[in-house]
Amino acid sequence: MNILDIAIVSNTEMIKNYKDCRKKAENLNKIFILKNNEPDAVLFSINKYKELSEFIEYLDNVGEEDLLELRMCLPKNEISEMSKFKQMIVDLQKNEKAMEASVEHITNEVHTKMDEIKNEVVGGHNKILGRIKNTTEDLSKKINEL
C-alpha cells in the first residue's frame, strides 16, 4: 500500500489539530494516523466512508463465483498503470523534499557567507574609525600645544 506523505499525521497532531486533520481527510478522502511512527488508524471523509461502506456491503452479498468473475473483468493494465502513476507521485514528492533540502542548504551557505562579509566590513570600518579617532586626538593635542 502506497501512502502519500501529505496524507500522514501523527497521533499528537491529530489531538492538537483535530479540525485541520478533518479538513485534510475531507480533501484527501482519508488520512493515516501514526502512533510511535507506526500506522495506527485511518480517518476517512464521510463521502469516502459511504462509498466504501456501500462497496463492502455489496461484497458481503456477492458469492465466490461472482467475485472470481469480477476479478476476471478487472483490467490488469490499468491497475498496473495506476500503480506506476502512484509511484511517480511518490518519486516526485521525494524529489521535492530533496530540492527543499538543497535550497535550505544553499540558503544557509549564503547566510554564512553574508555574515562573514558583514564581519569583515564592520571590522574594517572599526579600524578606520579607530585611526580617525587617533588622528583627531593627535591633532587636538598639537592644537592645544600651539
Q: What's residue 15's pLDDT?
A: 92
Q: Give tens-digit pLDDT for 69-79.
A: 777 776 665 55
- DSSP states of the chain as a string? ----GGGEEEHHHHHHTHHHHHHHHHHHSEEEEEETTEEEEEEE-HHHHHHHHHHHHHHHTS-HHHHHHHHHHS-HHHHHHHHHHHHHHHHHHHHHHHHHHHHHHHHHHHHHHHHHHHHHHHHHHHHHHHHHHHHHHHHHHHHHH-
Mean pLDDT of 107-136: 90
Choice between 138 and 69, residue whose per-residue pLDDT is larger: 138
In this predicted structure, what is the pLDDT of residue 9?
92
Going from N- to C-terminal start, the domains of the chain cover 1-61, 75-146
pTM of the model: 0.42
Question: Selecting from 3.40.50.2300, 3.40.50.300, 3.40.50.1100, 3.40.1620.10, what CATH number does the domain 1-61 have?
Answer: 3.40.1620.10
